[in-house]
Structure 1
Amino acid sequence: MQHTAPSFYSDMIMQAAEWHTQLHAEDVSEADRLAFSQWLASDSRHATAFAQMEKLWTHFDEVQDSASKQALTAVIKPAKRKRIKAAATVLSLLAVILVGGIVANSLPARVMLADYRMGTGEQRTIELPDRSQLTLDTQSAVNIHFSHGQRRIELLQGKILVQVAKDKQHPFIVETVEGTARALGTQYTVQRQHQVTRVMVIESSVEACAAQSACVTLVPGESVQLQRGMPLRKGVADIQNETAWTHFKLVADDMPIPVLLGELQRYHSGHLHFDAAALAQVHVSGVFALDDTAHTLNLLADTTPVTITQYTPWLTLIKPVPKRVD
């Protein structure tokens, strides 16, 4: 049975916070460290909770001038025995806030604490320990799990392109809530958005499996959507068009403009406000820049029957051109 982030941590947040605080106390002893090791060994989830607590503190370390950081430091850094409970309470409260998703930018806690997380308009290619390469699209977040012979990428949100280094002894798997995509070859993409995971194969083959359900094997140019309660159906994909995002391009072929705007929003720092139903009859074709959203919006204003009005850098309104009344 899978647990959501809040329920997974609810009964061990305080323990992890207390151990974090105690291990950073000035009078920590060898007995404390031994007891901590025993606590870690008693439940595999303890290591995960403690790692997230360490990651939480790292995030505060990066914010040197915040009032919350200064207050937290005042409580935790000089912690003595009598202050451990108070310090742990403060830290665990912050952790609960993060786990509950009540964070800056409204990001879910696990996304905020991911090993790699891309900001708006950002892309990055990283080399993994086995020399595989992972390209992350804008607003994507992943956790990397390479240990004890496993090669597993946990895609929390967004889109990735994987170029897998060959290693028959250690399968390479991308995992989401909706299922898994196991590489039987070298190159494929996985996208997770709106509780749907889409797998598309570029080279060789991939076994895509819905969570606790059936599997299908995909070959180049094939795709499948993984969604709870839905059957697996293979689709045909245009590899060149669907990987254009790796060059900050979007290829549209008679694409409804609401779909294009939805994708453009992922790269645009401000909010694009539009009524999808009102714009549904407007279709566009062409190659559009994702790394210059202002230019793309101006191009749409010049070539399609829509009006685009920027009220502030953070709000742009897109409407259909009013029909003329003769």
Structure 2
Amino acid sequence: MPDLSNQQDPQNEAQLPEEILEQAALWLVTLADEEATDEDIQTFKQWQQQDIRHVEAVTEMQQTMGLFHGAQQTSHTHIASQIIEQVLTDAQLEEQNNSWSQPRNLLLLAGMAILLALLSWQILPTDYWLADSRNDSQDWSEQVLSDQSQIHMSGKTAYNVKYNADQRIIELLQGNILVDVAKDAHRPFIVQTRFAKIKALGTRFIIHHSDQRTTLIMLHSATEVAPVEINQHAVIVKAGQQVSIDEHGVGSALPIQPSLLDEAWQQHALVVDKMPLGQVLDILQSYQSRTLHYRTEDLQHIQVSAILPLNDSALTLLQQSLDIRIDKTLLGQIKIEAKK
């Protein structure tokens, strides 16, 4: 495993003074705190704009965090033990060599902060904090864009707006949006997620996006959907249809009742019909203040047909009606598993 205290080569060290690395480390630890404010975010952006080296230092620290990102879906306890052992070994070597310096101490503290984030199944959400528009887990809001298109957000949601003379792109990073598209004959309207490129051919649709999949619900007219991660032809999804797109491509279209789902959104509720429980939890996660921990593959056999309120009571209703167990862990997570 790489040594966290020695991530730079000599050339980078010459370009990035220790003082700037120290500031970058402190900024990222500050932003990892759930109590980080909008003022903190704005001040951080201003700090980055002051010097290109500030941006480079942040990028270097984020690359260090990237060492842990792939570990989210593996054995957390085993990896955490390895990280702790390595950090302690590095600290002992530094003490023996009498070469411990304040900036490197701060970098180690930043590494430990990242470890704490890993242990709680959360990696620093810089994309969320720095997005053009974002929403918290129990908030519902809307934005009118420069072309008069409207985006309604619910739950923990974040997206970027990328408009130019040729096209209108919404980069949905996470969460839930209902879109009303304004007509523009010269610029197509596209919603881009990790899994899908969704080109509007009409006006109104809902998208739920998580780390596992993108779910498109057509309320009016149609969209053209192309998968991002595999070579598959684009498909047309029409009003009254719902599709899920993941790393395997675009799934089969399922029938839905547009008026019912539209009304459910207005009432802050979620309508699902024979949807696998894992997929339901993917959506509910964005409305929860606590992390939901579950194995999707262990819950795929449990189908859910329900109208669920999009608040904490949704989990209670699921537990009452399904053969599942819900417990709280020592790390503050909510663990969901099928009863044996």
- Please say if 1:163 is aligned against 2:180: yes
Aligned position for 2:267: 247
Aligned position for 1:315: 333
CA–CA separation in structure 2 for the residues paired with 1:166 and 1:265: 33
- Which residue among 57, 60, 63 is the counterpart of 1:93? 57
User: Which residues of 2 match residues 126-275 of structure 1 at below 5 A?
Assistant: 126-194=143-211, 196-211=213-228, 213-227=232-246, 230=249, 233-240=252-259, 242-243=261-262, 244-245=264-265, 247-253=267-273, 257-274=277-294
Moved more, 143-152 or 277-286: 277-286
SS across alignment from 1:95: helix
**Matched-pair contact (CA < 8 Å) for 1:100–1:109:** no
User: Which residues of 2 match residues 19-98 of structure 1 at below 5 A?
Assistant: 62-63=39-40, 89-98=53-62
- Please say if 1:286 is aligned against 2:306: yes
**Matched-pair contact (CA < 8 Å) for 1:199–1:208:** no
**Matched-pair contact (CA < 8 Å) for 2:198–2:225:** yes
Moved more, 225-234 or 110-119: 225-234
CA–CA separation in structure 2 for the residues paired with 1:259 and 1:132: 29
Question: CA 1:100–1:108 in structure 2 vs 1: closer, same or farther (change >3 Å)?
Answer: farther
Moved more, 156-165 or 297-306: 297-306
Question: CA 1:142–1:100 in structure 2 vs 1: closer, same or farther (change >3 Å)?
Answer: farther
How big is the shift at 1:204? 1.6
Moved more, 147-156 or 224-233: 224-233
Larger radius of gyration: 1
Question: CA 1:239–1:311 in structure 2 vs 1: closer, same or farther (change >3 Å)?
Answer: same
**Matched-pair contact (CA < 8 Å) for 1:98–1:109:** no
Q: Structure 2: state its 5+ residue gaps.
A: 1-11, 21-30, 67-113
Between the two proteins, what is the percent identity of the paired residues?
Answer: 28
Q: Structure 1: state its 5+ residue gaps.
A: 1-12, 22-55, 78-86
SS across alignment from 2:156: coil
Amino acid at match of 2:56: S
Aligned position for 1:115: 132
How big is the shift at 1:152? 1.6
CA–CA separation in structure 1 for the residues paired with 2:222 and 2:242: 11
TM normalised by structure 1 equals: 0.60
How big is the shift at 1:184? 1.8
Aligned position for 1:45: none
How big is the shift at 1:164? 0.8
SS across alignment from 1:201: strand
Amino acid at match of 1:219: K
How big is the shift at 1:249? 1.0
TM normalised by structure 2 equals: 0.58
CA–CA separation in structure 1 for the residues paired with 2:323 and 2:301: 10
The number of residue pairs the alignment matches comes to 253
SS across alignment from 2:61: helix
CA–CA separation in structure 2 for the residues paired with 1:219 and 1:197: 16
How big is the shift at 1:220? 0.7
How big is the shift at 1:133? 0.5
Question: CA 1:100–1:164 in structure 2 vs 1: closer, same or farther (change >3 Å)?
Answer: farther
How big is the shift at 1:129? 0.6
CA–CA separation in structure 2 for the residues paired with 1:257 and 1:302: 14
**Matched-pair contact (CA < 8 Å) for 1:196–1:227:** yes
Residues 134-154 of structure 1 show CA distances to partners (whole Å, capped at 9, x for unaligned) of 122323221101222532211
CA–CA separation in structure 1 for the residues paired with 2:325 and 2:319: 6
How big is the shift at 1:274? 4.9
How big is the shift at 1:281? 6.2
**Matched-pair contact (CA < 8 Å) for 1:111–1:156:** yes
CA–CA separation in structure 2 for the residues paired with 1:301 and 1:231: 30
Amino acid at match of 1:270: R
CA–CA separation in structure 2 for the residues paired with 1:306 and 1:171: 44
How big is the shift at 1:316? 3.6
**Matched-pair contact (CA < 8 Å) for 1:100–1:108:** no
- Aligned-CA RMSD value: 4.3
